[in-house]
Amino acid sequence: MNPPKHPSADKTYETERLILRPMSSEDRDFIFDLYNRPKFIQYIGNRNVNTAEDAENYILNRFVPQIERLGYGNYLLITKDSNEKIGAVGIFEREGLDVVDIGYSLLEEFEGKGYAFEAAQKVKSIGMDEFGLAKISAIISKENLSSQKLIEKLGLKLKKFVTLPGETEELNYYETE
């Protein structure tokens, strides 16, 4: 029998310009597009999401179980003014890390407008204020300078370098103090 779904699992959040709602299987086409963008693959990695069906399975097997269990996870970013899906942000349990990590990705056409910072700031506060997380981490490719600046602006500090299980790239590891 499955444990009961966390009461916050379906909760939607808002910022000044964005709606953050839990990722669901209906977002499969968007995730397929986002996860196959060259910049996503370069900085975050190839998640082997080769079809819309792969994207749906990724959502149902990776995102949904965590948010149902913990109440927080991966959120779709939707603009309030035009109702466009522009990216994703979340707090994730990740193998090889002791502290949950914050992650985000946007379609390139929406970068440079402050959306990623706005969304990351919101999920950081959700994690710490609503769920009582003592610390949040971030792992970032050494080449992804804009993401490093964003994480530092959020108040996380570079602590060390890590390589996740099954990976070869050494990443910058940031953590709240």
Provide the pLDDT for residue 65: 95
Q: Is 173 helix (H, G, I), strand (E, B) or coil?
A: strand
Fold of 13-176: Aminopeptidase (3.40.630)
Q: How far does Cα 149 stand from its chain's mean position?
A: 17
Given a cut of 80, whether residue 165 has pLDDT beyond it is yes
Please provide the average confidence, as pLDDT, over all residues in the chain: 96
pLDDT band with cut points at 50, 70 and 90 for residue 131: very high
pLDDT value for 1: 62
Mention every residue, 6+ apart, whose C-beta is less than 8 A from residue 155: 176, 177
Q: Are the C-beta atoms of residues 113 and 104 closer than 8 Å to each other?
A: no
What's the pLDDT at 4?
86
Residue 2 has pLDDT above 80, yes or no: no
Rounded (10°) angle between helices 115-125 and 145-153 = 40
Distance CA 145, CA 156 (A): 14
Helix (H, G, I), strand (E, B) or coil at 170: coil
Domain residue ranges of the chain, discontinuous segments joined by +: 13-176
